[in-house]
Amino acid sequence: MPRIDPASHPRISATGYLPPHDQAVQGRSRVSISAAGGLTAFGANLVTLQPGAWSSQRHWHSAEDELVVMLGGSLVLVEEGAETVLAPGDMATFKAGVANGHHLQNRSDQVATFLAIGPDLPDDECHYPDVDMHWNAVRGFSRKE
């Protein structure tokens, strides 16, 4: 099995989020571990959040399960009506089709890292309950209207 050195692969900071919803993720970057290893059946991203950054806008997927594994630092998992602090070793799962919008916020003064794993399905849609934004593979990001 080949060893992946995240430092030797491109770090992606760009977002396709529509303004002004892109501002909350300005301190987010990721390395596609799955792409670095040549994997195609699922996505795995090593995500870094600077202090104050969010992983995403609060969202849920129609067709994709998600798994998050905390590696370093401390993050707050924000879900519908709940907040939970996550520390290294903690894990969270999100089942496809469950309308429980979620995201991670770095409210600490330290950098935080986690591994995000899930399929990259062409029929998935992503719903953003708090903001005027929607995503699907055909249109990309669009306004809900």
> Could you give the dihedral angle defined by the CA atoms of residues 65, 134, 56 and 37, in that order, rounded to the nearest 10 degrees?
50
Q: Determine if the pTM surpasses 0.95.
A: no
d(CA 122, CA 138): 9
Q: Does the domain formed by 11-142 have CATH 2.60.120.10?
A: yes
pLDDT at 47: 98
pLDDT by residue, tens only, the chain of 145 residues: 589 999 999 999 999 998 999 999 999 999 999 999 999 999 999 999 999 999 999 999 999 999 999 999 999 999 999 999 999 999 999 999 999 999 999 999 999 999 999 998 888 999 999 998 999 888 888 887 6
Q: Which of 101, 34, 93 is closest to 68 using CA atoms?
A: 93
